[in-house]
Amino acid sequence: MRKGTNPRSQEIQQQLASIKLKELFERYSNARPNLKANTLRDYRCCMNNYFADWRDVPLQNITRDKVEKRHQELSRKSPARANIAMRFLRALLNFASDIQGPDGQPVISDNPVERLSRQKRWNAIEPRSTFLTPIILPLWWQALYSLPAKQHENEIVRDYLLFLLFTGLRREEAMTLRWEQVDFEQRSFKVLDTKNRKDHELPMSTFLLTLLTERKERCGDSPWVFPSSKSKTGHIIEPRYQIALIEAQCGIRINSHDLRRTFASYGESLGFSFIVLKHLLNHKVKDITGRYVQITLEQKREPMERIAKYILENAEKKS
């Protein structure tokens, strides 16, 4: 020991600084036991797709230059995904800055991803604003019902996409819906443990009641409202194939979240307040006054019915 320096402490500090990215990711995941399965899956996708060659790289070797170069490489393929990858890496390295050695010093003192902020290198991404306007809705509707009926999966996907359009649910909430969450007597259904960690209950419009009643009759013994014999989970996954078929038929590219945006846009065009729409979409109400406004299941029934009627009126117009 020289000048008050503890060699053992220095050794431990060096070991901590040599933690590899894959080890940090495991520590990060284990420190967050309440992470949703989908979130953890997305994190693992980031590791495997964007940082696979960095898995065995010590944290001390992840420099600002390397971060900037990787961001540029990813940006050439997808600016949005490049930003997502770097936000993920920033979160990991922020977590590492809270890991301290015997001398009280953090594993890393400066997050190299912050260079992107300091030098304004983040990609500017315009929020996606695509939705089914009343003018193009009939074209999409006709293409949806033109999916080959001989393929049983197409029928399930059609009902799933309609369910998204008439409820505004997030895709994962609809895909994983079970029959035990559907109450035909009360004409409602409940989505459990949603993105904002609150259960979300909605009434069925007349259209939805008919759709789910017929779906139940065709579903057999499956616990899933939208089952699939092809997926490991037992329920359908994102139906990219059918969405591509619809696009080929009508020339309109619409994904699952666009249907949620369509539901919200129609609700706004009918004059429903933002507070009502937030409750229908299960968005967090951050406004202080808005938090005091509680909307019951029955109060949601009229908006759901009117939005459904508006969809049907426009869908059945001749294009």
Task: Tell me the per-residue pLDDT of 73-91, one tens digit each, with 9 for 90 and over.
Answer: 999 999 889 999 999 999 9
Distance CA 134, CA 268 (A): 13
Q: What angle do CA 159, 37, 128 make, to 5 degrees?
A: 60
- Using N-to-C axis directions, what is the helix angle for 297-315 and 206-219, rounded to 10°? 90
Dump the DSSP string for 105-166: -BS-SS-TTHHHHHTT-SPP-PPP-----TTTHHHHHHHHTTS-TTSHHHHHHHHHHHHHHH
Q: Which of 259, 262, 247, 303 is nearest to 279 (CA)?
A: 303
Confidence tier at 98 by pLDDT (50, 70, 90): confident
User: Any idea where the domains of the chain sit in the sequence?
Assistant: 7-118, 137-315
Q: What is the pLDDT of residues 274-291, one digit of tens each?
A: 889 999 998 776 665 555
Phi, then psi, of 224 in degrees rounded to 5: -95, 140
pLDDT at 42: 86
Mean pLDDT of 150-174: 92
Mean pLDDT score of the chain, rounded to an integer?
87
Q: What is the pLDDT of residue 149?
A: 74
Superfamily classification of domain 7-118 = Tyrosine recombinase, N-terminal domain (1.10.150.130)
Return the percentage of the chain with pLDDT > 70, whole number.
88
Assess whether the region 7-118 and the region 137-315 belong to the same CATH fold: no
Q: Is the pLDDT of residue 204 over 70?
A: yes
Closest CA to 173 of 202, 142, 151: 202
As its CATH architecture, domain 137-315 has: Orthogonal Bundle (1.10)
